[in-house]
Structure 1
Amino acid sequence: MLVLLPPSETKADGGRGGPLDLDALSFPELNPTRAKLADALADLATDVPASIEALGITERQTGEVARNAALWTSPTMPALRRYTGVLYDALDVKSFTRAGLEKAHRRLAVTSSLFGVVSATDPIPAYRLSGGNALPSIGTVRGLWKPVLEPVLRQVEGLVVDLRSGTYSAFAKLRPDAVVVRVVTENDKGERVTVSHFNKAYKGRLARVLATTRAEPSTVDQLAKVIRRAGLTVERTGEHALDLVTEG
């Protein structure tokens, strides 16, 4: 089973790992594109105003440009520790046992504007690049990744669970049998609506369940059973679709 998570804009500082080594990352087929993007991002960082415009940030966020300038030299840390925010707080990887971390490495992957997709424990530096950005030297990030990332993800074996956000879903179509999970709630009219505020938190809770379960689900029904056993409410809404129903 592979669970695809969205990344986050916010990232932890520092790290105990050495500088970025693309050969240390999973999915090595992506390394040529990773190198192209990293070089372009680091080069762009020499022009702070141009970086601010391309990255869609403010002058108060020039620290993000400094991060990009040091892409090839700054320390690294495992991807699941690098990404922060609501989803990753709910995932709470710091509380994982060693066995849990080993499962997470096999089962969790994060979509990334810079790296395409990385496994849970892949060592990456802090950086700033969003899915909707375009770099002057190479164009849109999405346009660069789509022809490269799609064939790689379609070759993933076993059950694939798609928790990506819309921005990162556009990076690559998955196999037709990939399971798409929506986070929904019921409004006053009894209609199912997509959750915004609690979306990331529930995805983090779900990712934690799937990362640590002893089960090895290989079908949609088996996946739903694992989720229900963890106390979450899930309903099958299509051949390869589940709704994770929140309490509102």
Structure 2
Amino acid sequence: MLKILFSPSEGKNTGGNEPSKDLLGSNDARATVLQTYNDIIMSKDEEAIKNLFGIKKYSSCEPYLQDVFSSPLMSAIERYSGVAYDYLAYETLSASEQEYLKSNTIIFSNLYGPILGGDPIANYKVKQGNSIGSIVPEKFYKDRFSYQLDLYLGDDEILDLRAGYYDKFYKVNKPYTTLKFLKDGKSISHWAKAYRGKVLRELALHNVSSIEEFTSLKINGLSFLETKVTKNKTEIIYTID
């Protein structure tokens, strides 16, 4: 089967009514991060909270000041908003297409670490690159989850659609495929998020189960340019029409 590695988003949707369940990987290790995060947001220490969230005004922090252990839960693939998720347009997909994303997408959260798209999470705020107390999330999760991810991915093929920052959470140790988008011969950055979301949508629409199936897809707005192979990474390069 094909597994897709994906980035989270600073933006979140509120609410949720998903029941709690064990998440991907070690929940004991994850509990350490969640407890540290919860201690900060429940401390009423305005400066510590603003620093964690990366927000200047304390009044803007209030939507996130809920006990993370008793907050409403929503599947990760639904929780995140932002450019990539706007182009994914999850809510417009069929039930089977949504289930594909919940089962086959691994999102690298700044709070929860690697989680499946269907894993239920609270509404939270951690600015990318910020520590949670003394915990550096990308280092913590790389140290404690990499072996578990290696085992979980097993013989699955991997399409890595993460933004470069999230490579810090997990280094793929077997052959995998990634994408690059060019406009007028130059690599794009911000709008790459849109095309990653668009590609993820196409994967769900066509129930893609292998890299071979993916490479045969015709994706509106993208034209195949070339493939580059470096060590265990295959990079497929597209031009934006």
The answer to whether structure 1 residue 103 and structure 2 residue 61 are counterparts is no
Aligned residue type for 2:136? T
| Paired residue secondary structure (1:211) | helix
Gaps of 5+ in 2: none
Contact 1:43 1:69 in 2 (8 A): no
Match for residue 126 of structure 2 among 117, 126, 129: 129
Contact 1:184 1:245 in 2 (8 A): yes
| Paired residue secondary structure (1:134) | coil
Residue in 2 that maps onto 1:171: 169
The answer to whether structure 1 residue 67 and structure 2 residue 64 are counterparts is yes
The answer to whether structure 1 residue 52 and structure 2 residue 50 are counterparts is yes
| Paired residue secondary structure (1:50) | helix
State how 1:1-248 maps to structure 2 within 5 Å.
1-18=2-19, 21=20, 24-27=21-24, 29-45=25-41, 46=43, 47-60=45-58, 62-63=60-61, 67-136=64-133, 138-155=134-151, 156-157=153-154, 158-186=156-184, 192-217=185-210, 219=211, 221-226=212-217, 228=218, 232-234=222-224, 235-238=226-229, 240-247=234-241
Q: CA deviation at 1:12?
A: 0.6
CA distance in 2, matches of 1:30, 1:126: 20
Contact 2:17 2:74 in 1 (8 A): yes
Q: Determine what percentage of the aligned residue pairs are the same residue.
A: 25
| Paired residue secondary structure (1:139) | coil
Q: CA deviation at 1:130?
A: 3.2
Deviates more, 1:234-243 or 1:205-214: 234-243
Equivalenced residue count is 232
| Paired residue secondary structure (2:216) | helix
Contact 1:5 1:164 in 2 (8 A): yes
Aligned residue type for 1:54? L
Measured against aligned partners, the alpha-carbon deviations of 1:12-56 in whole angstroms (never above 9, x if no partner) come to 1111234xx3xx1442x3212221111101101112211212333
CA distance in 1, matches of 2:196, 2:12: 18
Contact 1:4 1:110 in 2 (8 A): yes
CA distance in 1, matches of 2:126, 2:112: 10
CA distance in 2, matches of 1:15, 1:154: 31
Contact 2:8 2:80 in 1 (8 A): yes
Q: CA deviation at 1:210?
A: 1.2
Contact 1:76 1:126 in 2 (8 A): yes
The Cα RMSD (Å) is: 2.1
CA distance in 2, matches of 1:90, 1:25: 29
Gaps of 5+ in 1: 187-191
CA change 1:49–1:231 in 2 (3 A) is closer
Q: CA deviation at 1:174?
A: 0.9
Contact 1:116 1:145 in 2 (8 A): yes
CA distance in 2, matches of 1:78, 1:145: 20
Measured against aligned partners, the alpha-carbon deviations of 1:111-163 in whole angstroms (never above 9, x if no partner) come to 11111112122111100113411123x33112211112222222303111111
CA change 1:164–1:214 in 2 (3 A) is closer
CA distance in 2, matches of 1:165, 1:208: 17
